[in-house]
Amino acid sequence: MGFIMHFLYFLPMFPFTENLKRKENFLLLSSSYPSP
Protein backbone atom coordinates (compact mmCIF):
# COMPACT_ATOMS: atom_id res chain seq x y z
CA MET A 1 0.00 0.00 0.00
CA GLY A 2 2.75 2.43 0.92
CA PHE A 3 4.54 1.67 -2.33
CA ILE A 4 1.43 2.48 -4.36
CA MET A 5 0.97 5.79 -2.55
CA HIS A 6 4.65 6.57 -3.11
CA PHE A 7 4.27 5.75 -6.82
CA LEU A 8 1.12 7.88 -7.18
CA TYR A 9 2.82 10.74 -5.37
CA PHE A 10 5.81 10.81 -7.72
CA LEU A 11 3.91 10.00 -10.90
CA PRO A 12 3.15 13.65 -11.85
CA MET A 13 6.88 14.42 -11.70
CA PHE A 14 7.83 11.86 -14.37
CA PRO A 15 6.90 13.90 -17.47
CA PHE A 16 8.77 16.89 -16.07
CA THR A 17 11.94 14.93 -15.35
CA GLU A 18 11.73 13.22 -18.74
CA ASN A 19 11.45 16.61 -20.48
CA LEU A 20 14.36 17.88 -18.40
CA LYS A 21 16.50 14.89 -19.41
CA ARG A 22 15.58 15.34 -23.08
CA LYS A 23 16.45 19.02 -22.89
CA GLU A 24 19.81 18.23 -21.29
CA ASN A 25 20.52 15.57 -23.91
CA PHE A 26 19.56 17.98 -26.68
CA LEU A 27 21.85 20.66 -25.28
CA LEU A 28 24.69 18.15 -24.93
CA LEU A 29 24.18 16.93 -28.50
CA SER A 30 23.95 20.41 -29.98
CA SER A 31 27.01 21.59 -28.06
CA SER A 32 29.06 18.55 -29.09
CA TYR A 33 28.53 19.35 -32.77
CA PRO A 34 30.52 22.25 -34.21
CA SER A 35 28.33 25.23 -34.92
CA PRO A 36 27.81 26.02 -38.62
For residue 31, pLDDT over 70 is answered with yes
pLDDT for 35 equals 57
What is the spatial distance between Cα 24 and Cα 26, in angstroms, rounded to a whole number? 5
For residue 23, pLDDT over 70 is answered with yes
For residue 30, pLDDT over 70 is answered with yes
pLDDT for 36 equals 56
* pTM of the predicted protein model: 0.37
- Over range 8-19, report the average pLDDT: 71
**Buried b vs exposed e over 1-14: b needs ≥16 C-beta within 10 Å?**
eeeeeeeeeeeeee
Higher-confidence residue of 13 and 35: namely 13
